[in-house]
Amino acid sequence: MANSEPASWWRGCAIYQIYPRSFQDTSGDGSGDLNGIAKRLGHVASLGVDAIWLSPFFKSPMADMGYDVSDYCAVDPMFGSIEDFDGVVAEAHRLGLKVIIDQVLAHSSDKHPWFMESRASWGNPKADWYVWADAMPDGTAPNNWLSVFGGPAWEWDSTRRQCYLHNFLASQPALNFHNPEVQDALLDSVRFWLDRGVDGFRLDTVNYYFQDRQLRSNPPLPAGPVDKDAEANPYLYQHHLFDKTRPENIDFLKRFRALLDQYDNRASVGEIGDEGRSLETLAAYTSGGDKLHMCYTFDLLGPQFSAAHVRQCVEAFELAAPDGWPCWAFSNHDVVRHVTRWAKPGSDPSALARFSIDLLCCLRGSICLYQGEELGLEEAELAFEDLRDPYGIRFWPGFKGRDGARTPMVWHCEEDNAGFTTGRPWLPIPPGHRARAVDVQQAEENSILQHYRAALSMRTRHPALRSGTIRFLDGGEDVLAFIREADGEKLLCAFNFSELPARWTPADALGAVTALDLGGYETAVDGNGLTLPGLSAFIGTIG
């Protein structure tokens, strides 16, 4: 990118996540590809976002849909070629979009040459590149660590006659970050993509890089009520003190940042899955200016949806890391789409979609959108025989997996497979999604798609929303209210989380408030406060 661009472009940016397998197919094999991404980038640019995030497209056996990498510097043939990737970068840059790619560094595929060499013997050059341990004398696992995807986190290898660690699938062995050669090799792969012109990296499972050297067992969670997710997955019964979020992570993140700083205007965003201490970890990983540029957690990607919860998350981060930077998201490829996750019986998903993007655009931090949310797509209901996600297959029916959020994009209502492919799509396209296709909403003045464009445009036009400070006001039980301020601009933001009308009167006089036109809301403003319809937003200038 041009050196004249600001190095802090990432601060307050809007990122659009593309799940390559489900975006656009141009080959007719039913799976999306890089040429399809290039073809549809005009739609992404029209939203008013700043960057795209590409989920993995690297060479992979696809046991976990590309999050099991067998070659960090190659494109999997199902997505195209390295030249096709270069074409995506060129087209994105032509449209003014930055390119962020996923880096899955915590583990590789068991088909990666590194692991194949490591498992061959105890004494080969890569014997210590993965986390190996002897089984207990009775043949059981070295400790009590569990896999996120079910069962023990250890797999016996009959050739080496030891167990190797896998935090996810058995085909995703954990790399040994205590070995500096492993760190060097992974950073070399990052440098490969930097040299190809990518603008940033999303680091998958960024707090899983190191494990306790002594391999101590995790304690159970403190006694208390068990939520419904924990009932489906015993992983959530442990307090993960020793298998992730280890202090050594900080030094590696500093090495990673130092590499990025050798290039102009590059950025990084980390994914933190850290039950009970995620905001604390986010603060540690983004503060100081020498680690990650920003991180996101699952705190706003869960079932909780209330004014109090959002305020608590934002204020907790602001207190812990005043010099750090969050990246907020409501949906991604790993969770139920938020218009389904947060819906109450009888609620209007379209109203929830509009409300959510307005709220997201007003939060302090960068923001991340997931493909299809700009159409208000709801979670797909899939039959067990249609599932491709190993996580969902393992825990069905208590947990139905992630495929419901990964179904193909719907581009044209009347075309075969909604314009996604001329072949058989790798996941079914829900009939209900067709009515929300891009071509339908493009023609509707008040569609969710048009509302997304308006909200993102508002965020871009107002520096207070993109980079300003945030100060919360007392809004009562259902109203979230705060002031964003920067460069002499002061904005009042108020959100009624209830589906019933709410009256909000600030404790202190705010002065004259002029509403910004978001469309779709009938908020009444008077000298004493606001009358907010159910599930509505108000953004206005003060003074």
Tens of pLDDT, residues 99-142: 999 999 999 999 999 999 999 999 999 999 999 999 999 999 99
What is the mean pLDDT of the segment spanning 308-336? 95
How far is residue 342's CA from residue 160's CA, in Å, rounded to a whole number?
48
Res 507: pLDDT: 79
What does the DSSP 8-state code read for residue 240?
Answer: -
How far is residue 307's CA from residue 305's CA, in Å, rounded to a whole number?
7
CATH number at residue 94: 3.20.20.80
In the three-class reduction of DSSP (H, G, I as helix; E, B as strand; rest coil), residue 486 is classed as: strand
Residue 54 in domain: yes
Distance of CA 506 to the CA centre of its chain: 34
Read off the tokens for 55.
């989920």
The range of the structural domain enclosing residue 22 comes to 14-106+182-459
What is the mean pLDDT of the segment spanning 509-513? 79
Note the pLDDT tens digit of each residue in 232-257. Answer: 789 989 999 999 999 999 999 999 99
Specify whether 207 is located in the same domain as 69.
yes
Residue 204 annotated among the catalytic residues of the structure:
yes
Residue 171 in domain: no
Res 223: pLDDT: 66
Specify whether 426 is located in the same domain as 508.
no
Note the pLDDT tens digit of each residue in 380-433. Answer: 999 999 999 999 999 999 999 999 999 999 999 999 999 999 999 999 999 999
Mean pLDDT (the chain) is: 94
Specify whether 506 is located in the same domain as 407.
no
pLDDT above 70 coverage of the chain, percent: 97
The count of structural domains within the chain is 2
Q: Order the strands of the 14-18 sheet from edge to edge.
A: 294-297, 267-272, 200-203, 98-103, 51-54, 14-18, 366-370, 327-329
Which phi and psi (to 5°) does residue 16 adopt? Answer: -110, 115
State which of 459, 485, 518 marks the end of a domain.
Answer: 459
Specify whether 447 is located in the same domain as 496.
no
Specify whether 478 is located in the same domain as 427.
no
Specify whether 354 is located in the same domain as 246.
yes
Read off the tokens for 434.
């067709």
Determine how β-strand 154-157 pairs with β-strand 524-525: unpaired
| Count of Cβ atoms closer than 10 Å to residue 252 Cβ | 20
Active-site residue (options: 25, 91, 204, 358): 204
Residue 330's contacts (CB-CB under 8 Å, 6 or more residues apart) are 300, 301, 338, 356, 360, 373
> Is the pLDDT score of 3 beyond 50?
no
State which of 434, 459, 484 marks the end of a domain.
Answer: 459
Specify whether 444 is located in the same domain as 525.
no
Res 276: pLDDT: 76
Specify whether 209 is located in the same domain as 286.
yes
Read off the tokens for 308.
């109090």
What is the mean pLDDT of the segment spanning 142-155? 97
State which of 432, 459, 486 marks the end of a domain.
Answer: 459
Helix (H) or strand (E) holding 465: helix 463-467
How far is residue 195's CA from residue 187's CA, in Å, rounded to a whole number?
12
pLDDT band at residue 509 using 50, 70 and 90 as cut-offs: confident
Specify whether 204 is located in the same domain as 277.
yes
CATH number at residue 517: 2.60.40.1180
With beta carbons less than 8 A apart as the criterion, state whether 530 and 538 touch: yes
Specify whether 386 is located in the same domain as 482.
no
Specify whether 377 is located in the same domain as 489.
no
Res 5: pLDDT: 61
Determine how β-strand 98-103 pairs with β-strand 51-54: parallel
Helix (H) or strand (E) holding 268: strand 267-272
> Is the pLDDT score of 228 beyond 60?
no
Note the pLDDT tens digit of each residue in 285-305. Answer: 999 999 999 999 999 999 999
Active-site residue (options: 33, 102, 155, 271): 271
Residue 444 annotated among the catalytic residues of the structure:
no
Res 2: pLDDT: 38
Residue 202 in domain: yes
Res 543: pLDDT: 80
Res 158: pLDDT: 96
Answer with the residue of higher pLDDT: 502 or 520: 502
- Per-residue CA distances from 497 to 331, 494, 502 (Å): 18, 10, 9
Residue 79 in domain: yes
> Is the pLDDT score of 230 beyond 70?
no
Specify whether 259 is located in the same domain as 343.
yes
Res 514: pLDDT: 85
Residue 354 in domain: yes
Residue 427 in domain: yes
Residue 115 in domain: no
Res 525: pLDDT: 79
Residue 128 in domain: no
Residue 478's contacts (CB-CB under 8 Å, 6 or more residues apart) are 307, 496, 497, 498, 502
DSSP 122-172: SSSTTTTSB-EEPPPTTS--SS--B-TTSSBSEEEETTTTEEEE-SS-TTS
What is the mean pLDDT of the segment spanning 486-501? 94
Res 231: pLDDT: 63
> Is the pLDDT score of 1 beyond 50?
no
With beta carbons less than 8 A apart as the criterion, state whether 239 and 220 touch: yes
With beta carbons less than 8 A apart as the criterion, state whether 237 and 230 touch: yes
Res 54: pLDDT: 98
Res 64: pLDDT: 97
- Per-residue CA distances from 219 to 156, 215, 227 (Å): 23, 12, 18
